Amino acid sequence: MTLLTTADYEAAINAVIERVGNTLVLGIPLGLGKPVGFTNALYSRAKADPTLTLTIFTALSLNRPRAAGIAGRFIDPMFDRVMDGYEDLLYLIDRDRGALPDNVTVREFFFQAGSQLGNANAQQNYISTNYTFVARDMLDAGANVFAQLVAPHPDPSVERVSLSCNPDVSLDVVPAARERRPIAVIGEAHAELPYMPGDSERPCDDFDVLIRRETRPRSLFAVPKQPVTLADHAIGLHASTLVPDGGTIQLGIGALGDTVAHALTLRHRDNATWRSLVGELTPLAKTIGGDTPFDTGLYGATEMFVDGFMALYDAGVLKREVIDDLDRQTALNAGEPVREDDITQVLHGGFFLGPRCFYDRLSTMSLTERRRFHMTTVGRINQLHGTESLDRLQRGRARFINTGLKCMLTGAVVSDALDNHRVLSGVGGQYNFVAQAHALDDGRSILLIKAVRGDGKDAESNIVWEYAHTTIPRHLRDIVITEYGVADLRGATDRDIIARLLNITDSRFQAELLARAKAAGKIEADYAIPNAYRRNTPEALAQQLGPARRSGALPHFPLPTDWTEEEEILAVALSRLSRMKAEQHPLALAMRAWRAGRPGEAVLGLLRRVGLDTPATLQDQIAARLLAPLLQAVLDEGPAALRPRQATP
């Protein structure tokens, strides 16, 4: 092992080339675990030296968001505060501007959602694959250099590091690669990365080059939170009725995952309010879900350890313990006591990514408590191969909850790409978990899909008759949820699938879809959608859930954020301004701005935060006049509408 105590990246690169030659196929983790310093140095060397050939195999490359105008004035101070030390990925900058050199190729199997829609290079080099196939695909691509961030042990005398946020693929691919070809394994220590015990822990000798350098403060990538809508909350409430006490849960990132975590917390901590919001349980919920607080609690089996799991843990919901031993897990399931020396977990995860406050929460835990969150390989989590007997014992009554973009009226789901095959994000582990739900005797796949995309004149249904791309084929259909309800599709006939999906479709689009089904002979010619489902509108939803927003039961930010309260207010108002621009003609907006009165001092202070208190340009004057009443409306809702109110468990 070569130990570099300073950021001598040139020495590291020389050591790598000496081991593997001038053809470099670099595998680096998705998301947080990318060793930005080493990667940038290697990319810069390749740009300067055309005798090197560099292929970067990765996913979810992230650079600090940047924007111009009002958006930039809004987000820049927050990112300065929480991640001003973050170093941008140079290859991502060059790829985004079409400037990759001829001797460098970047292949990704997952994009930041929507970020590469217009990038031909990224679209052409995208790899569609299941997360569990990534290690295999890296090996087949000739990967011979593996690098990632690692967390140093809290005790400097201990010669171990942790793969921390990204053991997901590394634990599988590195040992397999060593058996095939000469490789180089590089670890770049990062002091702010939480040290995760368990499978993530590796001896320092596992690395051919270990780079230790002084960590720049606030240099981990932090994912900003967006305000969630009432439609998002409605989806989370529906999903929360299908999760049984004592079960297993998997969640994905984003607003819908946040609302599921919040709804489960509300069910546990304020059951009366939760019951008033979900109403009478559906027959499906009575059969596979529940409406009580969580006595036994839930266990998490998830490729992505999102901050929603931490919220569930802190609320006393994520508490069902498992043991990585078949005999003792059998005994635990039978109700026998746990031995004092047993290490129990409440979650197995493959990688984590989230806001800065999430990383800080992990870092403040003791190592003993952190052991409850066992970071391991996706080969273990996303499928039932290798340790199936143990996994089946641990993953009882599993609910795998993921997000989709569109659902065809016969049950197929689109999650990763458009109808022209341009990729929005990627398959990731979604197919794995859908298939696993069918493989487990009492597992269910739950796909969350917003019924409508866009606002006003741009609104379109996400329940569609047909689409030229599919992520989850219709023979793997199970449960689909929109803001208007739950459709149980497992084992159903095409006719019943169509009828059930129409019941959770926005009413503006039901008639056209029903007509398509009738024309195809897939539903009876005289079928009519029941009256109870013909009032599926945003207005009805707002009337139903609006009071819960104002009371604090369904806040704009259901999970902890890195925003200040002032920034949260601005985020909500700016999101409403964006929707307003989509719904109204520019002339109508200009007239509305002209009629706006002078804002009060509180609103002026918020406008000052984005440089609109004394707007200099006509564009800024219009924006200030439009934004001011929206800010006042958020202030009028009160602070309870922003963040979850505190409740006694």
Summarised one tens digit per residue, pLDDT across range 428-483 is: 999 999 999 999 999 999 999 999 998 877 899 999 999 999 999 999 999 999 99
β-sheet bridge partners, residue 414: 406
d(CA 74, CA 227): 14
List Cβ neighbours of 89 (8 Å cut-off, separation of 6 or more): 34, 36, 39, 40, 61, 62, 63
Per the CB < 8 A criterion, the answer to whether 236 and 265 are in contact is no
Torsion of CA 609, 611, 613, 619, to 10 degrees: -140
Pairing of strands 2-4, 104-108: unpaired
Report DSSP letters for 49-94, one per residue. -TT-EEEEEES---------HHHHHHHHHHHHHHHTTPPPPHHHHH
Length of the chain: 649
CA-wise closest residue to 130 among 112, 109, 113, 111 = 109
d(CA 65, CA 223): 10
Q: Where in the chain is the domain with CATH 3.40.1080.10?
A: 2-211
Asked which of 239-253, 337-351, 478-492, 513-527 is least confident by mean pLDDT, the reply is 337-351
At 348, list the tokens.
């197995």
At 323, list the tokens.
């043991």
Mean pLDDT for 112-116 is: 94
Summarised one tens digit per residue, pLDDT across range 285-309 is: 999 999 999 999 999 999 999 999 9
pLDDT range class, residue 3, cuts 50, 70, 90: low
Asked which of 41-45, 396-400, 548-552 is least confident by mean pLDDT, the reply is 548-552
Per the CB < 8 A criterion, the answer to whether 466 and 418 are in contact is no
The reported pLDDT for the residue numbered 584 is 67
The reported pLDDT for the residue numbered 649 is 35
pLDDT range class, residue 588, cuts 50, 70, 90: low
Structure-token match 């803001």, residue found: 483
At 621, list the tokens.
């004057």
**DSSP code, position 133:** G
Residues 470, 133, 491, CA angle at the centre, nearest 5°? 45
The reported pLDDT for the residue numbered 475 is 97
Summarised one tens digit per residue, pLDDT across range 331-390 is: 888 888 888 778 899 999 999 999 999 999 999 999 999 999 999 999 999 999 889 999
Per the CB < 8 A criterion, the answer to whether 137 and 115 are in contact is no
pLDDT range class, residue 590, cuts 50, 70, 90: low
Torsion of CA 144, 148, 154, 160, to 10 degrees: -10
Summarised one tens digit per residue, pLDDT across range 498-516 is: 999 999 999 999 999 999 9
CATH 3.40.462.40 fits 230-533, yes or no: no
Mean pLDDT for 406-435 is: 96
The reported pLDDT for the residue numbered 213 is 84
Indicate if the alpha-carbon torsion angle 74, 76, 77, 78 is positive or negative: positive
d(CA 472, CA 289): 23
**DSSP code, position 531:** G
Q: Is the predicted pLDDT of residue 84 greater than 80, yes or no?
A: yes
At 45, list the tokens.
């060397």
SS3 626: helix
% of residues, the chain, pLDDT over 90 = 83
Half-sphere exposure of 26 (CA within 13 A, CB side): 32
Torsion of CA 288, 290, 295, 299, to 10 degrees: 50
% of residues, the chain, pLDDT over 70 = 96
The reported pLDDT for the residue numbered 647 is 42
pLDDT range class, residue 522, cuts 50, 70, 90: very high
Q: Is the predicted pLDDT of residue 577 greater than 90, yes or no?
A: no
The reported pLDDT for the residue numbered 648 is 37
Strand order in the sheet with 413-414: 413-414, 406-408, 463-464
d(CA 460, CA 452): 6
Report DSSP letters for 349-385, one per residue. EEEE---HHHHHHHHHS-HHHHTTEEE--HHHHSS-S
- Long-range CB contacts (within 8 A, 24+) of 11-17: 12/38, 12/41, 12/186, 12/209, 12/211, 13/41, 13/42, 13/45, 15/184, 15/208, 15/209, 16/42, 16/145, 16/184, 16/186, 16/208, 16/209, 17/52
List Cβ neighbours of 92 (8 Å cut-off, separation of 6 or more): 61, 62, 63
d(CA 291, CA 285): 8
CATH 3.30.499.10 fits 2-211, yes or no: no
Report which secondary-structure segment, H or E, holds 23: strand 23-27
The reported pLDDT for the residue numbered 593 is 60
Higher pLDDT, 623 or 142: 142
Ramachandran region, residue 156 (left: φ > 0; alpha: ψ -120 to 50; beta: rest): alpha
Report which secondary-structure segment, H or E, holds 277: helix 271-278
Q: Where in the chain is the domain with CATH 3.40.1080.20?
A: 230-533
At 376, list the tokens.
């391991």
Report which secondary-structure segment, H or E, holds 630: helix 618-637
Summarised one tens digit per residue, pLDDT across range 626-641 is: 888 889 889 999 898 9
d(CA 628, CA 386): 58
Asked which of 76-80, 95-99, 502-506, 582-586 is least confident by mean pLDDT, the reply is 582-586
Mean of all residue pLDDT scores within the chain: 93
**DSSP code, position 417:** B
Summarised one tens digit per residue, pLDDT across range 115-147 is: 999 999 999 999 999 999 999 999 999 999 999
Q: Is the predicted pLDDT of residue 247 greater than 50, yes or no?
A: yes
List Cβ neighbours of 362 (8 Å cut-off, separation of 6 or more): 194, 196, 310, 352, 370, 373
Report which secondary-structure segment, H or E, holds 631: helix 618-637
Summarised one tens digit per residue, pLDDT across range 47-68 is: 999 999 999 999 999 999 988 8
At 575, list the tokens.
């999101």
At 538, list the tokens.
């945003």
Pairing of strands 160-162, 145-152: antiparallel
At 581, list the tokens.
């621009």
